Amino acid sequence: MKRFCLATGVLLLAILWIGVLPLANRTSFSVHMVVHMGVVAGGAPLVALGLSGTRFDVTAGRHWITPVFASILELFAVWGWHLPALRGLAESSILFAVIEQASFLVAGVVLWLSCLGGAAAGREERRLAGTFGLIFTSMHMTLLGALLSLSPRPLYGTEEVSCFGTPLSAIADQQAGGVVMLLVGAIVYLAGGVALLSRSLTEGVPNETGSAGR
């Protein structure tokens, strides 16, 4: 199962970075957001599931890589690269585009690993902290997506762009990208947090029943 998740995650990343990003209009914010959400909410959790518990699990034995720390790292990566100045650099420079995508992947994988991986000892506590980390990430992605969708003016240029062959004005392109973040990023992280909480509660029931019996 781990190998399947890892292979699927790597395949998805290859499709996004080799198939979508080079062939689409890189100045389109909505195209950027489709790739961004595909990396952090699709490729990253799959890769993390494949690496969790293996020797490549960077969170094992590193107690300082907590879900809260990782969620803050994700916040800086997401909000930082959506500042107009850095967004412009990523659109105009291949080097900065590579750094941007790499930071999205690293931040995403570290966050999901901090919630799903680590050493077996203390995994229950990590899972509970991961619930908070993923829900917090969902909240800040919801906020950013809403700000982008509701902004009265375009933040990333004024010219018409092509989103997968569909011409969009700058403001419509930005609003579409914000909606993608709301529908994909916020929902996936929220679902992940709820799933972790549900698993913790479900696994806690037999222990409490057994204690009562004794």
List, for residues 55-65, the tens digit of each pLDDT value.
Answer: 888 887 778 88
Give 124's pLDDT tier (boundaries 50, 70, 90): low
The CA distance from 48 to 9, in Å, is: 9
Confidence (pLDDT) at 169: 93
- Looking at residues 34-38, what average pLDDT do you find? 95
Q: How many helices (H) and strands (E) does the chain have?
A: 9, 2
Give 203's pLDDT tier (boundaries 50, 70, 90): low
> What are the tens digits of pLDDT across the range 162-182?
888 889 999 999 999 999 999
